[in-house]
Amino acid sequence: MTTLIACSHGTADATGRAAVRTLIDQIRGLLPGIRVEEAFVDVQDPAVDEVVDRCVGDGPVVVVPLLLSTGFHTNVDIARAVAKHPGRASAAPALGPHELLADVLHDRLTAAGVRPGDAVVLAAAGSSDPAAAVDVQQMAAMLARRLDGPVTTGFAAGAGIRIADAVRAAGSGAGSDGARRRVAIASYVLAPGHFARVIARGGGDLVTLPLAPDPRIAEIAAERCLAALRTLEPAVI
């Protein structure tokens, strides 16, 4: 029995929990031959190391982070959980950056009413790990190609410019009609919760909804799982 452990951060927000559960159901639908279990790195139980320990005796295990960037949780919590089981457990990369996420962000911006000429700030939760900011910058570049215009970044916590400061900087230039440029905040968080609320208060003229649930994110998770399984011996797909 091959197991995918869908590992999210965890949240006390009921709507956020429902969004993650729906995403996990979408992943199950894409991988009918693989058992899909849920785990967390914070706030909720069960913890990821407990689920890995429980499932690894049944066959290959892949932990897929339901996290948008690399950081402490991927490099420490998840990495430590699989390191105890070499050759039997593996960790996939974070969901982002990925071209499908750029598609989802573009669609969220369109639904929120973004217009040509609007400034766009990609707003992420943030991390103390510099690699997370690099991932977000790469995601901003992908989104900029979709929009055919510049995208700057802001962070709710950790290293990097704060969202409100990024919004003020993005809106400081005048539009073609001389009026203050509108600023759209692209919410780069997976589900409703604390960071989504921080982003919503960032001062944008419009703010998009969080990314999940969306079948394209489930596609990314399935892709990450299958790639990671190929690193295990034997790999049962």
161 pLDDT more than 70: yes
* Mean pLDDT over each residue of the chain, to the nearest integer: 94
173 touches 120 (CB < 8 A): no
Calculate the CA dihedral of residues 218, 224, 230, 236 and round it to 10 degrees: -30
pLDDT tens-digit series, residues 75-108:
899 999 999 999 999 999 999 999 999 999 999 9
- In whole angstroms, how large is the CA radius of gyration of the chain? 18
DSSP-assigned letter for residue 57 = G
% of the chain residues with pLDDT over 90: 87
Structural domains of the chain, with CATH: 3-96+214-229 (3.40.50.1400), 99-207 (3.40.50.1400)
In whole angstroms, give the CA distance from residue 135 to residue 39. 23
The confidence score (pLDDT) of residue 176 equals 54
Query: How many CA atoms lie less than 13 Å away from 87 in the CB half-sphere?
Result: 2
Choose between 236 and 26: higher pLDDT. 26
Residue found under tokens 């969080």: 210
The confidence score (pLDDT) of residue 158 equals 86
% of the chain residues with pLDDT over 70: 95
Specify the amino acid at residue 44: Q
169 pLDDT more than 60: yes
Compute the Cα dihedral for 118, 122, 125, 129 and give only its sign: negative
119 touches 181 (CB < 8 A): yes
Out of 27-31, 62-66, 73-77, 232-236, which region has the weakest mean confidence (pLDDT)?
232-236
In whole angstroms, give the CA distance from residue 111 to residue 102. 14
Band (pLDDT 50/70/90 cuts) for residue 172 is: confident
The confidence score (pLDDT) of residue 155 equals 97
The confidence score (pLDDT) of residue 226 equals 96
* Averaged pLDDT, 195-221: 97
167 touches 180 (CB < 8 A): no
* Averaged pLDDT, 57-82: 95
Please, which residues have CB within 8 angstroms of residue 94's CB and are 6 or more apart in sequence?
A: 65, 67, 68, 69, 70, 71, 74, 135
- Of the candidates 116, 81, 102, 115, which has an alpha carbon nearest to the alpha carbon of residue 144? 102
